[in-house]
């Protein structure tokens, strides 16, 4: 079969990407848990953030990891405003509407990117993109290591935000009991927008961590939409732990799948898991019973 | 639900039939072909989404299956594309039955149903991109052999009449839905599944029939595409863009209506042509279209057709 | 007509319905009462096929209903209404009732005529082509009734059909329900509005905490101390008795 080195490398690569998928999923599951909306614009918004990282690097030479400082708050602000003034206003709370509004937004964003940035594939040419680090028998690129570490840190920060701060408590209150929270004086619309903003901030972070090892095109969001949704559904809609664990499972599935089935067919793992989970355990591994 | 004046519809069909004789321009015929083709695909989505209330985000599944079925039969096995069309439609219905059975048996509704259709479309794309049977990423080229018996025509007019027939059939199917018990029950399922079930409607059976009809129509559109453009590949056949277009034209035009997809298609492709005329960069028309979708959801949820509907005469409701 | 034998249902560790047995004779109006959370709606859901009992039998004219889907149960002649009304919102009132009427005809014209007749019977006076969305609460209740009636059921399950109605509306619907029974339909209903239960039912079952605590003619059941306690709390029966003597 495969030599331990190849297997281990695949596993480790899977974990690295998995950490980023966890970030994507965290944002999505937060948005679902609080607003009960399925954010179909998730992939397109990630794509926009990735372009932001690209331009920060190509025009002003900002290192993607340093860009975190700018992109995270920027993404948060964009998400907050987007929810407050567009999604919240148009969707009027109906599940079906929100589905379509976020889909419509993703169409707008993707085609705006196509229009302004053209369809070319863009990558960052980092000087240290191929520096290697040894982990056991495997060699891993430096950016993947940094991304891995950073996503863990950000994940922990998010957990701290939700568990320890007043904002986090308010968010959890609204997630649990919307009307009650409003009666307690919590500005629910503001919390919704905040939650959406934080969800998009996660995308911003993920963008910074992805670009060093990946590429961007206007339609790159499609790939990540399926991955993000699979991760969230696998972990359980609304579950933080689920998003984290799910991310790693999906990451490893992807890389092992690629190893055994080849570049092309190997991708089947993700939609396959998606279908199986939706059919047999729609609440996911850690999700609350509907 | 809406009163369709049969004479108006007949007049419309007549105009469409006479169009190539009245209009000389190849360009306009091409435009008409695209509009009708897009409207037919939109109707596929509309049957399942607008009438049965099951929103699919992966309707491209049927399109691609139709396209690949007829193309593989033609290129690999030498089977006549007209027969391939029938085979494609059957395959489309089969795929619909497959996805429908799994989804509905397991009780997937709303967003979950939308997600699983997305997953299936993705899975089919990945598989068709990887196996030799579909020529993997290279795609399939249909050899040029212009003869009506070969489902290829010199010039556009032949193709125009084929797609016109498909379109009229799809509209007729929607009309039937509005006039029969099956359609009424289907719409009841859309409005409230539990209540429909309690009133004796076999909701599972009805949803299955709807998805199979959707599958057949979508597949026919797929075969048409393959024969018109003479090339398909996994991205064209199963890429998410087509799914989005299929639902966009229906929702913007007016879902759950007979002519909604046609209106939506007309508007989309008109915007397309106009924006291409001024700024020939891809993406612009869809930006506009996406904005229109978002606005329609917010302000005109019945779609553009809502502008034409008169409110039914209802007095103030008394108990 | 309907026989429920030793039916139980648990959710996780909670026993919602415990070994309940009851009977609904043909042509009668039988009511099921009890405080909130007693398990009435769960029992109803099981009878109507929306929930599966963990144990017990449910028989409609001798045929077992357990495991059958609701639409099949409707074919056997039993139809339910919902406590929280479930109109087909975007369809017109006529189209709503037609869905029920389609149960025994596939001709749209006939179904439409039948729908009109039913609407009359149930006392719906507004234009039938208005969207169902426009109806008031009382209107929606009537619509629920009309839709169910249109299927020409043998047994009608009414789930708190009076909830949300004002006294005059209650009176109207009482009359309507009586006339439905007089036309030969058996009726099994859950109700909170006591006036309705008393004046309507031939027989009453009382549920509390998932168990059957009393059964009998309404007047008897009303003065049953266990029933009083179930509604008003422990010791209430005694207190009431102490304050005023039996009528």
A187-204 in b/e form (b: 16+ CB < 10 A) is ebeebbbbbbbbbbbbbb
Partners of residue A230 in chain B, C-beta under 8 Å: 119
Chain A residue with Cα closest to B114: A99
Mean pLDDT across C28-55: 88
Give the whole-angstrom CA distance, residue B75 versus residue A211.
41
Residue whose C-alpha is closest to residue C74's, from B196, B198, B182 = B198
The beta-carbon neighbor of B194 closest among C79, C86, C102 is C86
- Please state, as a whole number, how many other Cβ atoms lie within 10 Å of the Cβ of residue B95: 23
CA B115 to chain centroid, in Å, comes to: 19
Find residue C186's DSSP bridge partners: C155
Partners of residue C80 in chain B, C-beta under 8 Å: 198
3-state DSSP assignment of residue A239? coil
Task: Give the angle subtended at the CA of B109 by the CAs of B106 and B112, to the nearest 5°.
Answer: 90
Give the whole-angstrom CA distance, residue B218 versus residue A115.
29
Mean pLDDT across C230-239: 65
pTM: 0.89
Which pLDDT value is given to residue B315? 40
Q: Determine the distance in angstroms separating the CA of B25 from the nearest CA of chain C, rounded to an integer.
A: 43
Does the CB of C80 have a partner CB in chain B at under 8 Å? yes
The beta-carbon neighbor of C147 closest among B179, B199, B315 is B199
Do B318 and C89 make contact, defined as CB atoms within 8 angstroms?
Answer: no
The beta-carbon neighbor of B282 closest among A92, A96, A114 is A114
Q: Determine the distance in angstroms separating the CA of B261 from the nearest CA of chain C, rounded to an integer.
A: 19
The beta-carbon neighbor of A107 closest among B55, B57, B289 is B289
Interface size B-C, in CB pairs within 8 Å, comes to: 118
Give the whole-angstrom CA distance, residue B222 versus residue B236.
10
Mean pLDDT across A92-113: 84
**H or E element in which residue A135 lies:** strand A132-135
Mean pLDDT across C190-203: 83
Please, are residues A229 and A39 in contact by the beta-carbon 8 Å criterion? no
Band (C240; pLDDT cuts 50, 70, 90): low
- Choose the most confident range, by mean pLDDT, from B12-16, B88-92, C18-22, C240-244: B88-92
Does the CB of B116 have a partner CB in chain A at under 8 Å? yes
3-state DSSP assignment of residue A154? helix
Band (B127; pLDDT cuts 50, 70, 90): very high
Contacts of A77 (CB under 8 A, 6+ apart): A197
Do C108 and B179 make contact, defined as CB atoms within 8 angstroms?
Answer: yes
Which pLDDT value is given to residue B73? 94
**What mean pLDDT value characterizes chain C?**
86
Which pLDDT value is given to residue B170? 96
**pLDDT value at C247 more than 90:** no
CA C13 to chain centroid, in Å, comes to: 27
pLDDT (tens digit per residue) in A119-168: 888 888 877 777 787 777 777 788 888 888 888 888 888 888 888 888 88
CA A266 to chain centroid, in Å, comes to: 21
**Residue A129: DSSP 8-state:** T
Which pLDDT value is given to residue B215? 97
Task: Please tell me which chains touch C, using 3 or more CB pairs under 8 Å as the contact test.
Answer: B
Chain B residue with Cα closest to A224: B122
Does the CB of A122 have a partner CB in chain B at under 8 Å? no
Give the whole-angstrom CA distance, residue B35 versus residue B37.
5
- Please state, as a whole number, how many other Cβ atoms lie within 10 Å of the Cβ of residue A162: 19
Looking at A189-203, A214-228, B14-28, B237-251, which range is the least confident one?
B14-28
pLDDT (tens digit per residue) in B25-63: 888 899 999 999 999 999 999 999 999 999 999 999 999
Give the whole-angstrom CA distance, residue C188 versus residue C143.
18
Residue whose C-alpha is closest to residue A257's, from A236, A271, A276, A275 = A271
Task: Please tell me which chains touch A, using 3 or more CB pairs under 8 Å as the contact test.
Answer: B
pLDDT (tens digit per residue) in A234-258: 998 878 888 889 999 999 999 888 8
Chain A residue with Cα closest to B285: A111
Cα→Cα distances B306→B55, B175, B270, B311, C91, Å:
20, 18, 19, 9, 15
Please, are residues A29 and A238 in contact by the beta-carbon 8 Å criterion? yes
| Sequential DSSP letters for B163-217 | HHHHHHHHHHHHHHHHHSHHHHHHHHHHH-HHHHHHTT--HHHHHHHHHHHHHHH
Residue C43 CA neighbour count, 13 Å, CB half: 36
Do B137 and A114 make contact, defined as CB atoms within 8 angstroms?
Answer: no
Mean pLDDT across B298-304: 84
Helices (H) and strands (E) in chain A, counts: 12, 2
Give the whole-angstrom CA distance, residue C220 versus residue B231.
81
Do C95 and B1 make contact, defined as CB atoms within 8 angstroms?
Answer: yes
Give the whole-angstrom CA distance, residue B261 versus residue B304.
10
pLDDT (tens digit per residue) in B170-185: 999 999 999 899 999 9
**What mean pLDDT value characterizes chain A?**
86
Q: Which of C41, C52, C70 to mutate to test the interface with B (most CBs of B within 10 A)?
A: C70
Do C126 and B315 make contact, defined as CB atoms within 8 angstroms?
Answer: yes
Does the CB of B108 have a partner CB in chain A at under 8 Å? yes
Instruction: Show the 3-state SS of chain C.
Output: CEEEEEEEEEECCEEEEEEEEEEECCCCEEEEECCCCCCHHHHHHHHHCCCCCCEEEEEECCEECCCCCHHHHHHCCEEECCCCCCCCCCCEHHHHHHHHHCCCCCCHHHHHHHHHHHHHHHCCCCCCCCEHHHCCHHHHHHHHHHHHHHCCCCEEEEECCCCCCCHHHHHHHHHHHHHHHHCCCEEEEECCCHHHHHHHCCEEEEEECCEEEEEECHHHHHHCHHHHHHHHCCCHHHHHHHHCCCC
Q: Which of A275, A276, A282 to mutate to test the interface with B (most CBs of B within 10 A)?
A: A275
Chain B residue with Cα closest to A106: B290
List A residues 210-269 in contact with B (Cβ-Cβ < 8 A). 218-219, 222, 225-226, 229-230, 233, 261-262, 264-265, 267-268
Mean pLDDT across A250-271: 88
For residue A76 the two structure tokens come to: 């948060």
For residue C70 the two structure tokens come to: 């609701």
Question: A123 or B73: whose pLDDT is higher?
Answer: B73
For residue A8 the two structure tokens come to: 């281990």
Mean pLDDT across B248-274: 91
Give the whole-angstrom CA distance, residue A108 versus residue A121.
19
Partners of residue A91 in chain B, C-beta under 8 Å: 297-298
Please, are residues A243 and A162 in contact by the beta-carbon 8 Å criterion? no
The beta-carbon neighbor of C100 closest among B199, B316, B318 is B199
**H or E element in which residue A13 lies:** helix A4-35
pLDDT (tens digit per residue) in C94-143: 999 999 999 988 899 999 999 999 988 888 877 888 888 888 888 898 89
Contacts of B13 (CB under 8 A, 6+ apart): B168
Residue A113 CA neighbour count, 13 Å, CB half: 27
**Residue A286: DSSP 8-state:** T
**pLDDT value at B314 more than 50:** no
Question: B91 or A140: whose pLDDT is higher?
Answer: B91
Residue whose C-alpha is closest to residue A47's, from A197, A178, A244, A207 = A207
- Please state, as a whole number, how many other Cβ atoms lie within 10 Å of the Cβ of residue B11: 11
Backbone angles phi, psi at C9, to 5 degrees: -150, 130
Band (C194; pLDDT cuts 50, 70, 90): confident
Question: A25 or A181: whose pLDDT is higher?
Answer: A25
Give the whole-angstrom CA distance, residue C71 versus residue C153.
12
Do A264 and B281 make contact, defined as CB atoms within 8 angstroms?
Answer: no
Does the CB of B300 have a partner CB in chain A at under 8 Å? no
Band (B260; pLDDT cuts 50, 70, 90): very high
Give the whole-angstrom CA distance, residue C92 versus residue C105.
19
Looking at B56-70, C191-205, C220-234, which range is the least confident one?
C220-234
Give the whole-angstrom CA distance, residue B37 versus residue B160.
9
Do C75 and B200 make contact, defined as CB atoms within 8 angstroms?
Answer: yes
Question: B21 or B196: whose pLDDT is higher?
Answer: B196
Does the CB of A120 have a partner CB in chain B at under 8 Å? no
Residue B155 CA neighbour count, 13 Å, CB half: 9
Question: A128 or C247: whose pLDDT is higher?
Answer: A128
Please, are residues A248 and A236 in contact by the beta-carbon 8 Å criterion? no
Do A267 and B282 make contact, defined as CB atoms within 8 angstroms?
Answer: no
Please, are residues C88 and B188 in contact by the beta-carbon 8 Å criterion? yes
**Residue B314: DSSP 8-state:** -
Does the CB of B99 have a partner CB in chain A at under 8 Å? no
**What percentage of chain C has pLDDT greater than the value 90?**
26
Partners of residue C50 in chain B, C-beta under 8 Å: 194, 198
Chain A residue with Cα closest to B112: A278
Give the whole-angstrom CA distance, residue B240 versus residue B245.
9
Cα→Cα distances B253→B14, B309, C132, Å:
22, 12, 24
Tell the burial category of B302 from Cβ atoms under 10 Å away from its Cβ (0-12, 13-18, 19+).
middle
Looking at A119-128, B158-167, C214-223, C225-234, which range is the least confident one?
C225-234
Partners of residue B294 in chain A, C-beta under 8 Å: 86, 90, 101, 104-105, 108
Partners of residue B284 in chain A, C-beta under 8 Å: 111, 115
pLDDT (tens digit per residue) in B138-166: 899 998 888 888 888 888 889 999 999 99
**pLDDT value at B310 more than 60:** no
Sequence-ordered alpha helix ranges (H) in A61-94:
64-82, 88-91
Q: Determine the distance in angstroms separating the CA of B178 from the nearest CA of chain C, rounded to an integer.
A: 10
Does the CB of B110 have a partner CB in chain A at under 8 Å? yes
> Locate tokens 């972070």: which residue?
A205
Mean pLDDT across B224-241: 93
- Please state, as a whole number, how many other Cβ atoms lie within 10 Å of the Cβ of residue B292: 22
Find residue C7's DSSP bridge partners: C20
Partners of residue B50 in chain C, C-beta under 8 Å: none
Residue whose C-alpha is closest to residue A277's, from A203, A224, A226, A206 = A226
For residue A223 the two structure tokens come to: 């790939």
């Amino acid at each position: 079969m495969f030599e331990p080195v190849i297997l281990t490398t695949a596993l480790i690569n899977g974990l690295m990407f998995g950490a980023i998928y966890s970030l994507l999923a965290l944002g999505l599951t937060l948005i679902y848990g609080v607003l009960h909306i399925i954010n179909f614009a998730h992939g397109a918004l990630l794509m926009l953030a990735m372009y932001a990282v690209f331009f920060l690097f190509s025009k002003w030479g900002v290192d993607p990891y340093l860009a975190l400082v700018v992109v995270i708050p920027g993404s948060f602000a964009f998400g907050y405003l987007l929810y407050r003034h567009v999604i919240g206003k148009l969707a009027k709370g109906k599940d079906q509407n929100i589905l379509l509004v976020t889909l419509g937004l993703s169409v707008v964003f993707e085609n705006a990117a196509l229009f302004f940035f053209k369809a070319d594939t863009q990558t960052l040419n980092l000087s240290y993109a191929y520096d290697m680090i040894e982990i056991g028998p495997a060699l891993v690129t430096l950016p993947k290591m940094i991304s891995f570490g950073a996503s863990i840190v950000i994940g922990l920060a998010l957990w701290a935000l939700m568990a320890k701060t007043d904002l986090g408590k308010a968010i959890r209150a609204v997630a649990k009991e919307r009307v009650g929270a409003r009666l307690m004086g919590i500005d629910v619309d503001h919390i919704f927008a905040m939650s959406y903003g934080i969800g998009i901030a996660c995308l911003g972070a993920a963008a910074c961590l992805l670009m060093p090892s990946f590429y961007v095109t206007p339609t790159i969001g499609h790939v990540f939409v399926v991955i993000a949704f699979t991760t969230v559904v696998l972990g359980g809609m609304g579950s933080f732990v689920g998003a984290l664990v799910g991310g790693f499972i999906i990451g490893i599935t992807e890389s092992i799948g690629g190893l055994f089935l080849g570049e092309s067919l190997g991708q089947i793992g993700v939609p396959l898991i998606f279908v199986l989970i939706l059919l047999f355990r729609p609440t996911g591994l850690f999700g609350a019973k509907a | 639900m809406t009163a369709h004046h049969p004479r108006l519809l007949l007049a419309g069909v007549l105009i469409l039939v006479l169009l190539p004789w009245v209009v000389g321009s190849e360009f306009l015929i091409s435009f008409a072909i695209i509009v009708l083709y897009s409207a037919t695909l939109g109707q596929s989505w509309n049957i399942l989404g607008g009438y049965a209330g099951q929103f699919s985000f992966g309707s491209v599944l049927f399109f691609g299956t139709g396209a690949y079925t007829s193309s593989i039969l033609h290129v690999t096995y030498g089977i006549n594309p007209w027969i391939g069309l029938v085979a494609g439609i059957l395959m489309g219905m089969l795929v619909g039955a497959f996805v429908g059975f799994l989804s509905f048996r397991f009780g997937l509704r709303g967003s979950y149903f939308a997600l699983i259709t997305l997953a299936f479309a993705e899975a089919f794309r990945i598989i068709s991109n990887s196996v030799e049977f579909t020529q993997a990423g290279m795609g399939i080229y249909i050899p040029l052999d212009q003869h009506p018996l070969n489902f290829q025509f010199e010039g556009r007019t032949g193709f125009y009449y084929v797609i016109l027939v498909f379109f009229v059939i799809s509209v007729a199917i929607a009309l039937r839905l509005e006039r029969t018990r099956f359609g009424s029950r289907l719409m009841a399922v859309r409005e409230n599944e539990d209540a429909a079930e309690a009133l004796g409607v076999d909701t599972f059976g009805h949803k299955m029939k709807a998805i199979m009809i959707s599958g057949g129509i979508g597949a026919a559109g797929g075969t048409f595409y393959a024969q018109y453009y003479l090339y398909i590949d996994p991205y064209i056949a199963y890429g998410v863009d087509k799914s989005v277009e299929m639902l966009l034209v229906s929702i913007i035009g007016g879902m759950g209506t007979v002519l909604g997809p046609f209106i939506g298609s007309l508007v989309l492709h008109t915007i397309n042509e106009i924006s291409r005329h001024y700024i020939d960069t891809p993406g612009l028309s869809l930006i506009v279209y996406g904005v229109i979708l978002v606005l329609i959801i917010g302000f005109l949820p019945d779609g553009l057709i809502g502008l034409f509907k008169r409110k039914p005469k209802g007095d103030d409701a008394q108990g | 007509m309907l026989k429920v034998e030793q039916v139980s249902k648990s959710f996780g560790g909670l026993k919602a319905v415990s070994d309940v047995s009851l009977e609904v004779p043909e042509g009668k109006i039988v009511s099921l009462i009890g405080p909130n959370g007693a398990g009435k709606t769960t029992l109803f859901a099981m009878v109507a096929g929306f929930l599966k009992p963990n144990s017990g039998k449910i028989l409609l004219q001798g045929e077992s209903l357990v495991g059958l889907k609701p639409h099949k149960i409707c074919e056997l002649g039993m139809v339910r209404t919902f406590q929280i009304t479930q109109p087909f919102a975007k369809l017109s009132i006529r189209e709503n009732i037609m869905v029920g009427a389609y149960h025994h005809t596939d001709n749209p014209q006939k179904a439409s005529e039948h729908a009109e007749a039913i609407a009359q019977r149930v006392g719906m006076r507004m234009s039938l082509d208005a969207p169902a969305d426009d109806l008031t609460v009382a209107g929606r209740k009537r619509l629920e009734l009309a839709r169910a009636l249109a299927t020409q059921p043998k047994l009608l399950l009414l789930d708190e059909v009076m909830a949300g109605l004002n006294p005059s509306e209650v009176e109207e619907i009482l009359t309507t329900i009586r006339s439905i029974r007089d036309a030969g339909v058996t009726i099994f209903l859950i109700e909170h509005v006591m006036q309705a239960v008393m004046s309507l039912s031939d027989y009453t079952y009382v549920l509390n905490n998932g168990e059957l605590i009393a059964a009998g003619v309404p007047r008897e059941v009303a003065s049953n101390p266990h029933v009083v306690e179930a509604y008003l709390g422990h010791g209430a029966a005694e207190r009431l008795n102490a304050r005023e003597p039996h009528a």
